């Protein structure tokens, strides 16, 4: 759409690093003008195998590079031939939204899978690291993995809901936060069945959807938004407007909000008007999608 006469070659390597190496060698032989990784696994390989080369690169659709130890901070830039972007919302931004949603918030039941390294590193640990500064307590609700998720989730939620009820009897200072762990977010129906009137908030926009099998709110980044951001970085690099090593970590701001007014009414939750104004996806009280992008 920018009128740049670009040709794309897609190299699908299916997590086989021998094939990934062939892809890089092919790109070097052409040579191509830019390499882009798609997804966290591909970005991890690019970070290990391509740094320091003369061909610039941009990462896309990938988890937070700072939490993964690829970069020291978000603003300095990589100082290398790779520009990084992130699909994660900053933890400070997340907490600001959560406190606007639940002004007296004190307890966050954080739901994740113990076998999901990326969710733990980029979502759970950063939240725990600064929760105390904001007067918040993080309560772990975990599953071991997909094979035992049904049983684990039931056990963890029963225990967590009992603890929350003891500390917050009327449920006005607590919420449940669903991370990007597949064994957890695939079980929204089970979560809703055990959550009572607590708001179920997701970090993945796709979990707010039509009908009752939905979170009430999502604060995250839609992949379309994330890849568009990476595309802007790519355009600036190939047109000579920017050097990859000087670009800060690209993040989508404000994040993509998704709202289910059907779920909000079911649990008696008031959605701040500012959320509605800026929402990327909205489902009305009947559960129908009425806004998308």
pLDDT for the residue 163: 96
Q: What does the pLDDT average to over 10-16?
A: 94
- Give all strands of the β-sheet with 200-202 in edge-to-edge order: 137-143, 107-113, 174-178, 200-202, 217-220, 256-260, 281-283, 289-292
Average per-residue pLDDT in the chain? 95
DSSP-based helix, strand, coil % in the chain, nearest 5: 40, 15, 40
Q: How far apart are CA 114 and CA 231, in angstroms?
A: 33
Neighbours of 82 (CB within 10 A): 27
Q: Is the pLDDT of residue 118 over 90?
A: no
Q: How far apart are CA 142 and CA 181, in angstroms?
A: 10
Which residues face 219 on adjacent strands?
A: 257
Q: What does the pLDDT average to over 11-20?
A: 95
pLDDT digits (tens, 9 = 90+) for 160-184: 999 999 999 999 999 999 998 899 9
| Contact predicate 276/245, CB 8 Å | no
Q: Which residue has the tokens 């695939």?
A: 186
Assign 81 a pLDDT band (cuts: 50, 70, 90): very high
Q: How far apart are CA 92 and CA 87, in angstroms?
A: 15
Q: Is the pLDDT of residue 38 over 90?
A: yes
pLDDT for the residue 239: 95
Which residues face 200 on adjacent strands?
A: 176
pLDDT digits (tens, 9 = 90+) for 216-250: 999 999 888 899 999 999 999 999 999 999 999 99
Q: Is the pLDDT of residue 198 over 90?
A: yes
pLDDT for the residue 117: 87
Residues in the chain: 293
pLDDT for the residue 174: 98
pLDDT more than 70, % of the chain? 100
Assign 1 a pLDDT band (cuts: 50, 70, 90): confident
Question: What does DSSP assign to residue 187?
Answer: T
pLDDT for the residue 151: 97
**Rounded to two decimals, what is the model's pTM?**
0.84
Q: How far apart are CA 71 and CA 251, in angstroms?
A: 14
Question: Which candidate, 101, 85, 77, places its Cα nearest to that of 175?
Answer: 101
Q: Is the pLDDT of residue 11 over 90?
A: yes
Q: Is the pLDDT of residue 275 over 90?
A: yes
| Contact predicate 74/251, CB 8 Å | yes
Q: Is the pLDDT of residue 266 over 90?
A: yes
Which residues face 141 on adjacent strands?
A: 111
Assign 253 a pLDDT band (cuts: 50, 70, 90): confident
**Between β-strands 35-38 and 256-260, what pairing exists: parallel, antiparallel or unpaired?**
unpaired
Here the tokens at position 113 are: 């899978």
């Amino acid at each position: 759409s920018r009128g740049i006469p670009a040709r794309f070659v897609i190299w699908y390597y299916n997590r086989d690093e021998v094939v990934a190496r062939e892809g890089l060698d092919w790109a070097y032989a052409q040579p191509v003008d830019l390499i882009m990784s798609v997804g966290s696994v591909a970005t991890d390989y690019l970070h290990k195998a391509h740094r320091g080369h003369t061909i610039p690169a941009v990462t896309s659709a990938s988890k937070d590079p700072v939490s993964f130890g690829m970069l020291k901070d978000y603003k300095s830039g990589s100082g290398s031939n790779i520009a990084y972007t992130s699909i994660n919302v900053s933890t400070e931004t997340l907490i600001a939204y959560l406190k606007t949603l639940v002004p007296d918030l004190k307890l966050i039941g954080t739901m994740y899978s113990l076998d999901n390294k990326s969710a733990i590193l980029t979502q759970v640990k950063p939240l725990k690291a600064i929760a105390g500064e904001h007067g918040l307590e993080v309560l772990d609700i975990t599953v071991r993995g997909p094979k035992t998720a049904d049983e684990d989730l039931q056990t963890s939620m029963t225990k967590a809901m009992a603890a929350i009820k003891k500390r917050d009897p009327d449920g006005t200072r607590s919420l449940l936060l669903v991370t990007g762990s597949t064994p957890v977010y695939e079980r929204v129906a089970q979560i809703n069945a055990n959550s009572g009137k607590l708001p179920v908030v997701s970090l993945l926009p796709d979990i707010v959807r039509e009908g009752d099998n939905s979170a009430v709110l999502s604060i995250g980044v839609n992949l379309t938004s994330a890849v568009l951001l990476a595309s802007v970085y790519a355009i600036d690099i190939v047109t000579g407007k920017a050097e990859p090593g000087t670009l800060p970590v690209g993040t989508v701001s404000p994040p993509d909000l998704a709202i289910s007014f059907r779920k909000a009414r079911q649990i008696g939750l008031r959605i701040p008007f500012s959320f509605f104004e800026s929402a990327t996806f909205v489902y009305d009280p009947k559960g129908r999608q009425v806004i998308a992008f």
